[in-house]
A and B are shown apart, each in its own frame.
Chain A
Amino acid sequence: MTPPALHLCGIAKSFGTTPVLAGIDLAVAQGEFIALVGPSGCGKSTLLRIAAGLEQPDEGAVLLAGQDMTARRAADRDMAMVFQSYALYPHMTVRQNMALPLAMRRLSAAQRLPLLGALLPGSRATRQCIQREVEATASSLKIAALLERKPAQLSGGQRQRVALGRALVRHPRAFLMDEPLSNLDAALRVHMRTEIVELHRRAGVVTLYVTHDQEEALGMADRVAVMLGGRIRQVATPDVVYRDPADLDVASFIGSPRINLLPGQVDSAARAQCGEHILADRVVAAAGSAIHVGIRPEHLHLSAEPTPWSLPVRLERIEFLGAEALAHCSADAMPDGLIARLPPDHAAGLRRKRALFASARDGAVLLFDTAGRRIAQTLAACHAA
């Protein structure tokens, strides 16, 4: 069995007495694009830096295609990193920025000396080769026209591409990206997402992409690793992470608007009840235990008439977003309110009404115990909707 292209094994790291990472295990297959997503401060950037070699873990190992890289410094690991601030050398032109990694690797220290180095044998040929590769990469990123400019003369998106170019030109064994799109405005960000995914597909190199934007992660990655509180909670395809979250924190973090979480109890008939209202049945949990019933906004059905297994709510306001509408409701049991995603005409129809009834469409609920763990439901016989 081929070893994973990039494997982070048992990584733990503390800064002083504060633990930041604990028991991290992440295996990335050859050519895979994995998004490491989590809120700010969860340790994902630290993990990335450990993978790069810019930080040393307290425990654990970093393996690249089976080779242990943990003891090697970053410059020897043959990985490329794209930084959030791009970290382009301000005093060098785009061409020089992109040529530097190649020059550092292929020219000896003597050959790199400013004037004399160019006179040494072999230096000329190598330099020309380097320039050709820089130009080829620049063309593929459509920045060939910018080669002679300095970073200060470029726009945010252009700098972003130069940073990508600097990473690409080396043909590294892995790409590490630290929130590269955070500094761009919203429209550019969406456009660059596509470009990066395209680039990845063409280069075919394993990529570890860190972001705090879960939409970005879901949209770009082959697999998503959700990181919360210094631990990786779930690694799965975007679809699975969304539909089948491993625990309550993952369910809350992934998905926008946030999943609606109703507090409830399991009754003697294995049904989840919120107050006196039943929301789900066939719950695999002890009677009397507390439970959270999670309903994603798109699965929250609102109607003017009560339906079986519905909860009375009050409509507070409707946000029209063009292609869809968000209905914000309040309920006594839910201090944070509920949000439902509706088609615009349905929402318009509800507008005058104040008292509504909310239920889970097609019984689509996610159940969690008080510790956040998933609770299953036994398979259904069909139930009346």
Chain B
Amino acid sequence: MPPDARTLADRHEARAAWWLIAPTAVLMLALLVLPVVAVLVLSLTDAELGEPVVNFLGLQAYADLLSDRDFRGAFRNTALYVLMVVPASVVLGLGLALLIEAEARGRALFRSLYFLPSVSLVVAMASVWQYLMHPSFGPINQLLRLMGFAGINWLGSSDNALMALAVIGVWQAIGFNMVLFLAGLTAIDRTLYAAAEMDGVRSAWDRFRVVTWPMLGPTTLFVATITIINAVKVFETVATLTQGGPAKATRTLLWAIYKEGFVYLHVGAASAMAVVFIVVLLFLLVIQTKVLDKQVHYR
């Protein structure tokens, strides 16, 4: 193709592409780029909604934030929550997937049963759990008392509240993780198991160690990442059940942003928190892509 015609074709292609992207590009600008810039700018101020006077604080805003006890508390609570929810829901999800995959006939039934929590409205189920966890007449404590244990003050005690929310979080995530692991399991090449059998791999544990676990690598990484990110974004249960309490025990990052920005109207401070929030997520995703992804895909 003569060079002139080629660039003409290219330009035509580029023009067509721009027409296709134009609406989305506008949206991206309005809904993504500008807001992110705005958040970055606001974070460096002490702006308050409704207050006309705005002072520029620069990076001091971050210094103040990181030394603020409440914010550090929110950070720590979120980290604790993640540590409680993620390992449990990933391991249980994997265990369930292994059991269900081995079960030939009841598979579809169990899969749907366990997935049910993940399609149920979080706010609604949180309310149900509130009832279940009621210290005096909630069924959980009733069961515990029947078995001879004392009841636990789940949501009312600052020692237990975060754990209670974690229980709900795990309950919600199990089914979803299970489905993802099931997909990963069925994608494993069956001849690998045949080869393992010929090689003398006899027990289920050995099969898991030699074939299943290594081949699930990418899936496990994906599940862990998704679970971590969702755990960091915990909000609905906090908003419905504890509102950050008791005694700020369940004050998590998103709740803190909400409170600061929309209840106390400290827009500047809340924006700084939002930036920290984004940085945390960025950090997690970078770890996933750069560090672990290669290891897990056996290139």
A150-169 near B? 1/0 per residue, CB < 8 Å:
10100000000000001000
Residues on B with beta carbons closer than 8 Å to the beta carbon of A320: none
> Is A75 touching B201 in the complex (CB atoms < 8 A)?
yes
- Which of B189, B197, B199, B217 lies at the interface centre, i.e. has the most chain A CB atoms within 10 A of its CB? B199
How many chain A residues have a CB neighbour from B under 8 Å?
Answer: 25
Cβ of B206 under 8 Å from chain A? yes
B182-223 near A? 1/0 per residue, CB < 8 Å:
000000010110110111111100100011001101000000
> Is A75 touching B210 in the complex (CB atoms < 8 A)?
no
The verdict on A87 contacting B197 (CB below 8 Å), with A75-B202, A150-B298 known, is no
The A/B interface has a contact count, at CB < 8 Å, of 63
Separation in Å of the B206 CB from the closest CB of chain A?
Answer: 7
Cβ of A85 under 8 Å from chain B? yes
Residues on A with beta carbons closer than 8 Å to the beta carbon of B191: 83, 85, 87
> Is A79 touching B198 in the complex (CB atoms < 8 A)?
yes
Separation in Å of the A282 CB from the closest CB of chain B?
Answer: 53
> Is A89 touching B192 in the complex (CB atoms < 8 A)?
yes
Cβ of B105 under 8 Å from chain A? no
Cβ of B299 under 8 Å from chain A? yes
In the assembled complex, the Cα of A105 lies from the Cα of B197 at a distance in Å of 12
Separation in Å of the A156 CB from the closest CB of chain B?
Answer: 16
In the assembled complex, the Cα of A104 lies from the Cα of B214 at a distance in Å of 17
Separation in Å of the B198 CB from the closest CB of chain A?
Answer: 5
> Does more than half of chain B's interface fall in helix, strand or loop, or is it mixed?
helix
A69-84 near B? 1/0 per residue, CB < 8 Å:
0000111000111010
The verdict on A83 contacting B199 (CB below 8 Å), with A89-B211, A89-B214, A91-B217 known, is no
Separation in Å of the A151 CB from the closest CB of chain B?
Answer: 8
Cβ of A90 under 8 Å from chain B? yes
> Is A91 touching B214 in the complex (CB atoms < 8 A)?
yes
Separation in Å of the B269 CB from the closest CB of chain A?
Answer: 48
The verdict on A87 contacting B200 (CB below 8 Å), with A150-B298, A152-B298, A152-B299 known, is no
Separation in Å of the B192 CB from the closest CB of chain A?
Answer: 5
* Among A54, A90, A109, A166, contact of B194 (Cβ-Cβ < 8 Å): A54
- Which of A104, A109, A166 lies at the interface centre, i.e. has the most chain B CB atoms within 10 A of its CB? A104
> Is A80 touching B189 in the complex (CB atoms < 8 A)?
no
| A104 and chain B: residue at smallest CB distance | B200
* Among A81, A91, A100, contact of B215 (Cβ-Cβ < 8 Å): A91
> Is A80 touching B214 in the complex (CB atoms < 8 A)?
no
The verdict on A104 contacting B192 (CB below 8 Å), with A90-B298, A150-B298, A152-B299 known, is no
B250-283 near A? 1/0 per residue, CB < 8 Å:
0000000000000000000000000000000000
In the assembled complex, the Cα of A54 lies from the Cα of B201 at a distance in Å of 13
Cβ of A52 under 8 Å from chain B? yes
Residues on B with beta carbons closer than 8 Å to the beta carbon of A87: 189, 191-192, 194-195
> Is A81 touching B195 in the complex (CB atoms < 8 A)?
yes
The 5 A-B residue pairs with the shortest CB-CB distance, nearest first, are A104-B200, A87-B195, A91-B214, A101-B199, A87-B191
Please name 13 pairs of A and B residues whose Cβ atoms are closer than 8 Å in the assembled complex, sorted by A. Answer: A54-B198, A73-B197, A73-B202, A74-B197, A75-B198, A75-B202, A79-B198, A80-B198, A85-B191, A87-B189, A87-B192, A91-B217, A152-B298
Q: A73-B197, A81-B198, A90-B298 are in contact. List 13 more A-B contacts (CB 8 A).
A: A73-B202, A74-B194, A75-B199, A75-B201, A87-B195, A88-B195, A89-B192, A89-B214, A100-B210, A101-B198, A104-B201, A152-B298, A166-B199
